[in-house]
Structure 1
Amino acid sequence: MHAIRLHAFGPAENLRYETVPDPAPKPGQVRITVAAAGVHLIDTAIRKGQPGPFPLPELPTVPGREVAGTVDAVGADVDPSWIGKRVVAHLGMVPGGYAELAVTEVARLHEIPANLDAAEAVAMIGTGRTTLGVLQFTELSRDSIAIVTAAAGGIGTLLVQYAKNVGATVIGLAGGPAKVALVQQNGADLAVDYRQPGWTQQVRDFLGDRTATVLFDSVGGEIAYAGIDLLGKGGQHLIYGGSGTDPKAVGTPTYSADELAARGVTSELVVGQAMIQRAGGDLRGLEDRAMAEATAGRLRPAVQRFPLAEAATAHHALETRGTTGKVVLIP
């Protein structure tokens, strides 16, 4: 089979498209003919050799932890009726997704509903799971005013949809006119280009005498600082990433506890262990909910596809914030 392999930590160009032996499912596992493999920002950190929520793998390695496709073989003790079924799975701590074939435990499988293609299913099993996990930390309603950073991204797209579904007012922030247009098409009440000077005044003019109640933040840095200033008393700053370049962007509250208290707002990291604990350790439950929302048509992921052989290009585009929606590799 063909797969992307990483032989040395470093730049995106270290991702190589190679021929490797086909994997075989062990007892309790299935093999999937991959139709789509998810790319995550964490994949780019691992590729660089940066420690994070997942341990650095032994090299060479096949990156990727989200796959969708069709079961083509099963291991011992696995019901053979799985063969031929369209499935999606998060591989957990074990990489191997950037390939034409991948193996995983049968317990990780979800059948793909008829109304989703493989790339959309991959988006929901990873990005959808995280979106539902982030939403555990707030209660959105018709009275909510939500600001979503990176609103044209994979999670941002789903957060805008979810908030609109419950009747909240949604302000989507994105970089550049093309992304702003996508946020508008996705239903945001106001879409703003945060690269333009005076964008915060545009938001204030829209809000009038109102203030935002929650800031969904995957960017950090100066955008987060500005967004917090748009929150009213009791507002929440929920951090689920740090794609910005500011050192203050990654994984820590933007303001000190005293500064937050003076503003009457809270700031917390809502991914990683915080999300797992809030879910009671049940990540499978979040996956089930994400797939159910997509099956019902309430959440529809945005997807940007790259050929598997162009994984390096996909990594570079993701790192430079040149993508929209969930990035997916197609073998």
Structure 2
Amino acid sequence: MHAIRLHAFGPAENLRYETVPDPVPGLGQVLIRVAAAGVHVVDTALRRGEPGPYPLPQLPTIPGREVAGFVDRIGPDVDTSWLGKRVVAHLGAVPGGYVELAVTETVRLHEIPTDLDAAEAVAIIGTGRTTMGISLFTELGPDSVVVVTAAAGGIGTLLVQHAKNVGATVVGLAGGPAKVELVQRNGADIAIDYLLPDWPAQVLARLGDRRATVLFDGVGGEISGAAIDLLAKGGQHLVYGAANGAPLLLSEEESAARGIISELVVGPRLIQRVGGDLRPLEDKAMAEAAAGRLRPAVQRFALADAVGAHRALETRGTVGKVVLQA
């Protein structure tokens, strides 16, 4: 089979499209013929040699942890009904997703809803799971005014939809006219280009006498600082990423002075919130997608163009979830 392998930490060009032996499913495992594999910003950091939520892998390594396709073979002690099913799985802590064939345990499998293709299913199992986890840190309703700073991103797209599903007023921020247009099509009540110097004034003018109650922050840097100023007292600043630099978390003293809460809602905080079990979040995200309430945005690259996918992700030239198609 073909796979993307990394032999040395460094730039995207270090990713190699190679032929490797086909894996064999073991006890309780299946072999998935992969149609789509997820690319995550964490993958780019690990490729550069920067540990984060996952430790640096031993080299050579095959990056990626989210795959979708159909079950091609089964290992010992696996129900034969899995054969031929369209499935999606998060591989967990061990990488190995940028491949044509992947092996994983049956306990990680989800059947793909009829209306989702493989690339969309990959987005739901990864970004959808995270979105459902982020939503646990707040209670949204018709009185909520929600600001999403990276509203054209994979998680941002789903956060906009989730907030609209419960009746909230949603302000989506994105960089550039094309991304703003996507945010508008995604259902945001107000879509603003944060590359414009007066964007905070535009948001305030559109909101009138209302102020934000929740800020879902996936950008960081100066944009986050300006977005925090939109929060009313009692508001929540929920940080899930830092596409524009380091995540901006307020100190306890500054949060208290502003009368808001500022907290990181991914990584160990999210895992602690769900008691270490992420499967219910996957189940919830898949159910929301099957019901048509969540529809991911996906940007597709060929498996052989993993270098291009990493470059685009690192330069913020992507929209939605980045997916490799075999």
- TM-score, normalised relative to structure 1: 0.97
Q: Which amino acid aligns with 1:299?
A: L
The residue matched to 1:87 in structure 2 has which SS?
A: strand
Instruction: Name 1:284's counterpart in structure 2.
Output: 279
Cα drift, residue 74 of structure 1: 1.1
Tell me how far apart the structure 2 counterparts of residues 281 and 37 of structure 1 sit (CA, whole Å).
Answer: 24
Cα drift, residue 269 of structure 1: 0.4
Q: Which amino acid aligns with 1:184?
A: Q
- Count of residue correspondences: 326
Instruction: Name 2:164's counterpart in structure 1.
Output: 164
The 5-angstrom pairing of residues 1-331 of structure 1 reads 1-245=1-245, 249-250=246-247, 253=249, 255-331=250-326
Q: Which moved more, 1:320-329 or 1:272-281?
A: 272-281
Q: Which amino acid aligns with 1:112?
A: I
Alignment deviations for residues 75-108 of structure 1 (CA, whole Å, 9 cap, x no partner): 1111122110100000001111001000011110
Q: Which amino acid aligns with 1:106?
A: T
Cα drift, residue 256 of structure 1: 2.2
Tell me how far apart the structure 2 counterparts of residues 57 and 72 of structure 1 sit (CA, whole Å).
Answer: 27
Q: Which amino acid aligns with 1:263?
A: R
Alignment deviations for residues 266-325 of structure 1 (CA, whole Å, 9 cap, x no partner): 100000111111112220000000000000000000111000000010011011110001
Q: CA RMSD in A?
A: 0.8
The residue matched to 1:323 in structure 2 has which SS?
A: coil
Tell me how far apart the structure 2 counterparts of residues 24 and 60 of structure 1 sit (CA, whole Å).
Answer: 19
Q: Which amino acid aligns with 1:297?
A: G
Alignment deviations for residues 125-159 of structure 1 (CA, whole Å, 9 cap, x no partner): 00000000000000010000000011011100001
The residue matched to 1:183 in structure 2 has which SS?
A: helix
Alignment deviations for residues 18-58 of structure 1 (CA, whole Å, 9 cap, x no partner): 11110111111111000000000000011011011111111
Tell me how far apart the structure 1 counterparts of residues 138 and 255 of structure 2 sit (CA, whole Å).
Answer: 18
Q: Which amino acid aligns with 2:195?
A: R
Tell me how far apart the structure 2 counterparts of residues 150 and 93 of structure 1 sit (CA, whole Å).
Answer: 26
The residue matched to 1:69 in structure 2 has which SS?
A: strand
Q: Please, which runs of 5 or more residues in structure 2 have no aligned partner?
A: none
Tell me how far apart the structure 1 counterparts of residues 204 and 19 of structure 2 sit (CA, whole Å).
Answer: 55
Tell me how far apart the structure 2 counterparts of residues 297 and 60 of structure 1 sit (CA, whole Å).
Answer: 40
The residue matched to 1:33 in structure 2 has which SS?
A: strand
Alignment deviations for residues 178-237 of structure 1 (CA, whole Å, 9 cap, x no partner): 000000011101100000110000001011111100100011111111111000010000
Cα drift, residue 16 of structure 1: 0.7
Superposed structure 1 runs of 4+ greater than 3 Å apart: none
Identity within the alignment, %: 74
Q: Please, which runs of 5 or more residues in structure 1 have no aligned partner?
A: none
Tell me how far apart the structure 2 counterparts of residues 320 and 134 of structure 1 sit (CA, whole Å).
Answer: 25
The residue matched to 2:96 in structure 1 has which SS?
A: coil
Tell me how far apart the structure 1 counterparts of residues 313 and 32 of structure 2 sit (CA, whole Å).
Answer: 26
Q: Which amino acid aligns with 2:25?
A: P
- TM-score, normalised relative to structure 2: 0.99
